[in-house]
Amino acid sequence: MAIKKVGLITAGGDAPGMNACLRFLIKGLIDEHYEVFGIYKGFKGLIEKNYQKLSKRDAGGIIQKGGTILGTSRYPDFVKKEIQKVAVRNLEEMGMDAIVVIGGDGSMHGAYALSQMGIKVIGIPASIDNDIYGTDETLGADTALNTIVKSVDIIKDTASSLDRAFIIEVMGHTSGYLALNASVSTGAEACFIPEYETDIDEVVKRLNQRFIEGRSNSIIIVAEGYSSGYKVKELLEKKGIKYELRVTVLGHLQRGGSPTFRDRKLALEFASHAIELIKKEKFGVMIAKKDSLITEVPLEEVVSRKKTLDAALLKMMDTIKWED
């Protein structure tokens, strides 16, 4: 059966670039004579049949905006088979011939589940954590990293004036991507990530040596999945760190903001490839960027494997205990 109606969903945590991707999808699909529908509030919108037809006007003025015009939600119940069956039934009743799911690792699992139940699905990876297997980049990660780097640079200015060490807590429940990349790119003295332990004694030894040498500031970056910044502060103080410590939690600042050029370009590339696959009626895949090329990866492969951190970056933060 020819594809006529395409539903768009943004699910899970929001990421800068989602709106840009929606813009390119809406305009591109309409230009190819598809009817385009927005399904609101993620997978929850499938269950509630919360959707409406979209026009090019809906895509106007959103390319520079963070967040998502479709809204999103975390919907843990979607892992239940009975809930998935309701979603499939609703999609059929809504007359959707295919759907595009934009979201993170959990959203790709949801997309795969629907694909297994006969729904024509294409996934587009959007996550500030860049933790989705099969793609080198995800929408939002570059913008989030730029936000963190800018924030750390600003904090360094005040840290230098006050002879303090700052512990900066960044997002990453299960992934240390943001913390590791931000640490390397800002010259942080230590990094704590959920994937590996950090040699606390060595961190304290090095920071105390910096203090003795009169170095006016130090930066420590902690992924929230390792521990809270405040708990790391307590731990370092118990170990006898000489610096006065302050904690800054960047929080949802990392999810917002206007997407960078890199994320806008990636949004265009992902959307364009998704449209080409819809025209070819190739489904059950996630759009990916691998070795600078835009391609697609089977959703089954995406959900069955785990993405690892860059070994070269781990070597640079040598207080992290890991094995190549």
CA distance 179 to 193: 7
Q: Tell whether 224 is in a known binding site.
A: yes
Q: Tell whether 109 is in a known binding site.
A: no
What does the longest C-alpha to C-alpha distance in the chain come to?
73
What is residue 249's three-state secondary structure?
strand
Q: Tell whether 104 is in a known binding site.
A: yes
| Catalytic position from the list 129, 131, 142, 263 | 129
Q: Tell whether 255 is in a known binding site.
A: yes
Q: Tell whether 156 is in a known binding site.
A: yes
Look up 129 and say whether it is catalytic. Answer: yes
Q: Tell whether 129 is in a known binding site.
A: yes
Q: Tell whether 95 is in a known binding site.
A: no
Beta-carbon contacts of residue 311 (< 8 Å; ≥ 6 apart): 324
CA distance 37 to 43: 14
Q: Tell whether 253 is in a known binding site.
A: yes
The candidate with the shortest Cα–Cα distance to 287, out of 141, 100, 115, 128, is 100
Q: Tell whether 180 is in a known binding site.
A: no
Q: Are 190 and 182 in contact (CB under 8 A)?
A: no
Do the strands 285-290 and 293-298 form a parallel or antiparallel pair, or are they unpaired? antiparallel
Q: Rounded to an integer, what is the distance from CA 12 to the centroid of its chain?
A: 10
Q: Tell whether 51 is in a known binding site.
A: no
Q: Tell whether 231 is in a known binding site.
A: no
Q: Tell whether 228 is in a known binding site.
A: no
Q: Tell whether 171 is in a known binding site.
A: yes
Q: Quote the DSSP letter at residue 76.
A: G
Beta-carbon contacts of residue 134 (< 8 Å; ≥ 6 apart): 286, 288, 290, 297, 301, 302, 305, 307
Instruction: Tell the residue number behind the tokens 């009817």, with chain if given.
Output: 35
Q: Which residues are annotated as a binding site for ATP?
A: 13, 74-75, 104-107
Q: Which residues are annotated as a binding site?
A: 13, 23-27, 74-75, 104-107, 127-129, 156, 164, 171-173, 187-189, 224, 246, 252-255
Q: Which residues are annotated as a binding site for Mg(2+)?
A: 105
Q: Which residues are annotated as a binding site for ADP?
A: 23-27, 156, 187-189
Q: Which residues are annotated as a binding site for substrate?
A: 127-129, 164, 171-173, 224, 246, 252-255
- Cite the active site residues: 129
